[in-house]
Amino acid sequence: MSGWLWVVILNVITASAYLGIVLFIVRGLRRTAQLRKNRLALATAAIFTTCAAHHVLHAVHLLAGAGHGEHTGGGTIAIMRESMGGGLDVVVTLSTALAGVLYLGMRRSYGPLLRSPAMFDDASEARYRQLAANLPHTTVFIVDRDLRFVLVEGADLVAEGYDPRRMEGKLLEDTVPPAVLAHIEPYYRAAVAGEESSFDSVSAGTGRVFQVRARPLRDEADAIVGAMVLSEDVTAEREARAELDRARAFRDAVLTASPDIATVVDVDTGRVNWASRSLCALLGSPTTDGAARRNDADAPPDGAEDSLDFAVVPEDLPIVAAADQDAASLADGETLTTQYRVRGLSGETRWLSRRTTPFRRGPSGEVLQVLSVLREVTDVVEAERALERAALQDPLTGLPNRMLLLDRIGSAIDRGARIGTAAVVLFCDLDGFKSVNDSGGHAAGDAVLVEVARRLRAVLRTDDFIARVGGDEFVLVLDAQMEDPASDADGLAGSVSARIRAALSSAIEFEGQQYEVSASIGMVLARRGATAQDVLRDADSAMYRAKQRGKDRVELFDDSQEVVASVE
């Protein structure tokens, strides 16, 4: 093939490559809406268009003489073909064609010329769009340095009223409402300036929440050519988080308002892993003015609250330890309640109630942690004890009442039956007490009763017992351990009578008035086989006999003859 034909072919190739470059630049300018703005790119396209036209004309001229005679200028064409068909012309034209083809192959690097990220070819753009479309609940935006959308992909945009295809090629400010622009534009600007950022955006139309992440987009030379923005719909996640926050707030409010403290404790170590609030709160938190503040010497040591043994009185530590072990054997849903004493911040004794249930088990089903709820029950315990005292104790004098007396007499009878001894029961009724009430009123009468109780208690031994069973009636149980009651009864009665008379011999003063009382006493020996009621009845009978015989004396009941013997 002659040289000029090679020149024609290479000119056609060159022109085709230049036209491809022009078409690609124009396509990019149209997609980025810069067809009338980017003068550098337009000038570049114009130059390549001119070059393409030149090479086309060159090829046409070389082919123009084909089929024509010499009269049409064939000689001139021949001369041209001969002059342009040399080896140098072929090499130059080939170089030009190669440059055009190479330039066309570099179309992905036209970004700087088009002032936008590298353009996609059809295949890579399709793959990228497919990848972006498969991101769950995520919209992908790619913008150039002018914040012009180059690529927009995401189904959520349609629900928000946007058309992704119409957004491409438009500026951010021409696409979104002013209120949205004012919120998001600073983050876009920061991204094209090289800063990564993350922010939340709430849709005014649907109320959905989007987490937006913006980052710079760089080319192969690490130059920033735009930004990539990912917008993820996190509405469901935020709603779940808000619901969790509300649940936590509710839990915290309940725990704060509750007087109880919830704890999670390791069974093996006894260590408190979690507590709803400080255990010191149950023991009386120090006030800001220091009124209830403990001395530093009394403050709990560091780490003391890591265990529920904190502040437990030593006598109750075994109770707490046993409760931990017992709780570890409970089935799920079962609870164990324990009460024990602790020392308050001021040193006072307080009562805590601890209700425990299994909380976490190991692989083999063993209980690793227990959940305990602690509540101060000092008032409850004191109220229960007050009720017990009210049931067994006289509220005026503090002495035991009839119920406890009967139990004590029964115990004395049983003890005497075991060891062969007998106890003595004395029924005392005050003489002259009615005149005290008549002259001084009930207040004076109460004061006399309290003082008599104190004096009678003072004449008793440690193992003896005294109770108030009526208005002015007192019963004494003497643990006499009489081996021969028949021979010792008169001496014991006389001794007790003397002690009681001596205790009541001095007047009792109340509000400036002097009141004198004595006691008529009935005495009985608590023998084997008798009941407490029988003994108390016999002692009461002997007391009435003492009243009848002049008062201020002791009468001994002889149950073998069922008579009352006088004791002077």
**Could you give the percent of the chain with pLDDT greater than 70?**
75
554-558 β-sheet, strand order: 465-468, 473-478, 423-431, 518-526, 554-558, 563-567
Averaged pLDDT, 43-51: 74
Least confident segment among 180-184, 371-375, 555-559: 555-559
**Rounded to the nearest 5 degrees, what angle is found at the Cα of 77, between the Cα atoms of 74 and 79?**
110
Residue 484 has pLDDT above 60, yes or no: no
Cα separation, 347 vs 299, in Å, equals 11
Residue 293's pLDDT band (cuts 50, 70, 90): very low
> For position 290, what pLDDT does the model report?
36
> For position 474, what pLDDT does the model report?
95
> For position 268, what pLDDT does the model report?
83
Cα separation, 2 vs 395, in Å, equals 139
Classify residue 394 by burial, with Cβ atoms within 10 Å: 0-12, 13-18, 19+. Answer: buried
Least confident segment among 17-21, 398-402, 457-461, 547-551: 17-21
* 3-class state of residue 36 by DSSP: coil
For residues 501 and 518, the answer to whether their CB atoms sit within 8 Å is yes
In order of 52, 404, 504, the CA distances from 429 in angstroms are 141, 19, 12
Task: Mark out the alpha helices in 261-401 (DSSP H runs).
Answer: 280-283, 317-327, 378-392
> For position 70, what pLDDT does the model report?
45
Residue 476 has pLDDT above 90, yes or no: yes
Cα separation, 322 vs 16, in Å, equals 96
Residue 462's pLDDT band (cuts 50, 70, 90): confident
Give the closest residue to 98 by CA, choosing from 213, 11, 14. Answer: 14
Residue 296 has pLDDT above 50, yes or no: no
Averaged pLDDT, 70-82: 50
Averaged pLDDT, 27-35: 71
Cα separation, 481 vs 499, in Å, equals 19
For residues 425 and 523, the answer to whether their CB atoms sit within 8 Å is yes
> For position 138, what pLDDT does the model report?
82
Tens of pLDDT along 310-367?
Answer: 688 888 888 888 887 788 888 888 999 999 998 887 788 888 898 999 988 889 888 8
> For position 5, what pLDDT does the model report?
76
**φ and ψ at residue 162, rounded to 5 degrees:** -110, 150
Least confident segment among 164-173, 473-482, 544-553: 473-482
Residue 106 has pLDDT above 50, yes or no: yes
**Could you give the percent of the chain with pLDDT greater than 90?**
17
Cα separation, 452 vs 233, in Å, equals 87
> For position 376, what pLDDT does the model report?
86
Of the options 1.10.10.10, 3.90.1750.10, 3.30.450.20, 3.40.190.10, the CATH number for the domain spanning 258-284+309-382: 3.30.450.20
Cα separation, 96 vs 12, in Å, equals 11
- What does the DSSP assignment read for 265-276? EETTT-BEEEES
Averaged pLDDT, 263-268: 86
Residue 105 has pLDDT above 80, yes or no: no
> For position 59, what pLDDT does the model report?
75
Beta strands in 458-497 (DSSP E): 465-468, 473-478
Residue 490 has pLDDT above 60, yes or no: yes
In CATH, what class is 135-237? alpha beta
Give the closest residue to 333 by CA, choosing from 377, 367, 374. Answer: 367
Residue 117's pLDDT band (cuts 50, 70, 90): very low
Beta strands in 419-515 (DSSP E): 423-431, 465-468, 473-478, 508-510, 513-515
Residue 12 has pLDDT above 80, yes or no: yes
Of the options 3.30.70.270, 3.30.565.10, 3.40.50.300, 3.40.718.10, the CATH number for the domain spanning 394-556: 3.30.70.270
> For position 65, what pLDDT does the model report?
57
> For position 289, what pLDDT does the model report?
38
> For position 454, what pLDDT does the model report?
94
As given in the structure block, the two tokens for residue 243 are: 């619901």
